[in-house]
Amino acid sequence: MNTQLLERRYRLLGAGAPLFYNEPVHIVRGEGVWLYDADGKKYLDVYNNVPNVGHCHPHVVEALYKQSQTLNVHNRYLHELVLEYAERLTALHDDPLSMAFIVCTGSEANEIALRMARQATGNQGIICTNCAYHGNTTAVDELATYFHGGTSPSANVKAIPFPESYRPLDGLSGEALAAAYSDKVKQAIDEFEQEGIGCAGMLFCTLFSGEGLPDVPPGYMEQAMEHVRAAGGLYIADEVQAGFARSGEKMWGYRLSGVTPDIVTMGKPMGNGHPVAGVVARADLVNGFREQVMYFNTFGGNPVQCAVGMAVLDVIEQENLQENALVVGEYIRDGLRALQSEHELIGDVRGRGLFIGVELVTDREAKTPATAQAKTIVNAMKEKGVLISNIGMYDNVLKMRPPLPFSKDNADLLLSVLEDVLAPGISE
């Protein structure tokens, strides 16, 4: 471990600045699905979705370079690129989502969504799950229930149990389970109304990423949104992790449930590492917001962001990355299920496309979370040159979310390293 770098980091960024792994890696170069450390050691990147089309993809880097040489200025002057990009983005979404904001970070995107939903409805209450993360600003942090013990520090935010089939509410299944979870939404709405706060909307990550990628009981989203709409609230779909073809089946996670959002927020993979994020929403919501609020974002929608954002869309299309996510994602899950038959520790294999969760348990009947074991595996795989992480309510879900040009060969390496690590048995 590079103690000198670590000490400098503590001194300059604070000791609490988050780092991955017990012995952090010192990465100096990236290419495709590979990262390289200062000693030349090669790591298969099964964690990073920000370099969505692969680290340092030349098509994206060249678009960035070309536009940076030409013009990089705010969008209070007219420019075609912000319109081309907004046109292309909105065309990729469900019909009513016809207007866009281009901003810099997922937090900024969720800030706009919250401000817009609260202004449009006249209500303050937002429903999120009890294991959520949506960004780092004051208002968005009120939804970071993952870091606040499953609840919100604000009276204006209520956390409900996230929908899942692995540890089902009250041991229910099927339609009864979907109804039980959506009743929790109704209950939160009733409380908001009794408290005079009202319901502005429901904000979910459409793959429930931080929650550990649960299998959602069919019908849940429809029923939950029926309650929210009846109370005048909106559906804000957070695609910051789920979007841009990650699920393989669809370009956007919200399409897996078939419920069209009123507002969609996007971020991380949007610029392949360049700070780009955005919001698409119904025209009446955007116009209503724009009438009341002077919203301006200095770097948001500048020509460089837009050129980069479009280059990312080019690569997703030209390299068939959505299909690749579908095919290779399913291939990995098949391999994981084969491992599951050999290893009691693997309680559940889940996810969509190239966003995969492997829930580890010490007892399959009791579903006892194998939190320490998950941490051990994440660190052991890093030693063997494969980068993953862990998430979920108990931090016991292995999180695999590689750049989309991840091949079956890459998948074989991932699976064989996981098998190696599991082979001797994993204990605390």
The answer to whether 311 and 390 are in contact (CB under 8 A) is no
Q: Which is nearer to its own copies, 34 or 166 (CB)?
A: 34
E strand or H helix that includes residue 43: strand 42-45
Q: Which is nearer to its own copies, 257 or 389 (CB)?
A: 389
Least gap, CB of 33 to its own copies (angstroms): 12
For 108, the token pair is 């900024």
Least gap, CB of 412 to its own copies (angstroms): 24
For strand 397-400 and strand 389-391, is the pairing parallel, antiparallel, or unpaired?
antiparallel
The answer to whether 258 and 220 are in contact (CB under 8 A) is no
Least gap, CB of 129 to its own copies (angstroms): 17
Task: Burial-class residue 245 by CB neighbours within 10 Å (0-12, 13-18, 19+).
Answer: buried
Least gap, CB of 170 to its own copies (angstroms): 31
The answer to whether 49 and 403 are in contact (CB under 8 A) is yes
Least gap, CB of 411 to its own copies (angstroms): 21
Report the alpha-carbon distance of residue 129 to residue 207 in Å, rounded. 12
Q: Which is nearer to its own copies, 47 or 181 (CB)?
A: 47
Q: Which is nearer to its own copies, 105 or 324 (CB)?
A: 105
Least gap, CB of 381 to its own copies (angstroms): 15
Residue position matching structure tokens 């400098």: 8
Q: Which is nearer to its own copies, 68 or 416 (CB)?
A: 68
Query: What are the DSSP calls for 357-418, one per residue?
Result: EEEEEEETTTTEE-HHHHHHHHHHHHHTTEE-EEESTTS-EEEE---S---HHHHHHHHHHH
Report the alpha-carbon distance of residue 289 to residue 113 in Å, rounded. 10
Least gap, CB of 143 to its own copies (angstroms): 12
Number of Cβ within 10 Å of residue 416's Cβ equals 13
